[in-house]
């Protein structure tokens, strides 16, 4: 189980609201039944519904270009989710 919280954060001319993300998974089962499919992710980011794009923004292992598409999404909820994912990547980078 992991919990991520973020305070309100400036994001360009706007501000991302404070938010909480909770993820629960089991070690003996994959959280997603299928391996990452970058081509599918690109299609969803470009053509999917707001809900599909929002869920995609929180997926682990997204290609950088897919995450960039979601960060530039016209829907603020998708953009906020993608910006949060980017923040998590930067904060928990294992370099």
Give the domain ranges of the chain: 2-91
Half-sphere exposure of 51 (CA within 13 A, CB side): 0
pTM, rounded to two decimals: 0.64
Q: Is residue 29 pLDDT above 90, yes or no?
A: no
Q: Is residue 92 pLDDT above 80, yes or no?
A: no
Q: Which of 75, 51, 76, 53 is nearest to 66 (CA)?
A: 53
CA–CA gap between residue 62 and residue 55 (Å, rounded) = 12
* Contact predicate 4/85, CB 8 Å: no
User: Band of the pLDDT at 30, cuts 50, 70, 90?
Assistant: low
């Amino acid at each position: 189980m992991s919990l991520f919280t973020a305070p309100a954060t400036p994001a360009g001319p706007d501000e991302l609201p404070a938010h909480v993300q909770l993820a629960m998974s089991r070690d003996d089962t994959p959280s997603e039944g299928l391996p990452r499919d970058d081509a599918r992710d690109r299609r969803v980011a470009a053509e999917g519904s707001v809900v599909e794009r929002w869920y995609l923004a929180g997926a682990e292992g997204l290609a950088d270009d897919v995450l960039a598409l979601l960060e530039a999404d016209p829907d603020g909820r998708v953009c906020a989710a993608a910006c949060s994912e980017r923040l998590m990547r930067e904060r928990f980078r294992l370099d």
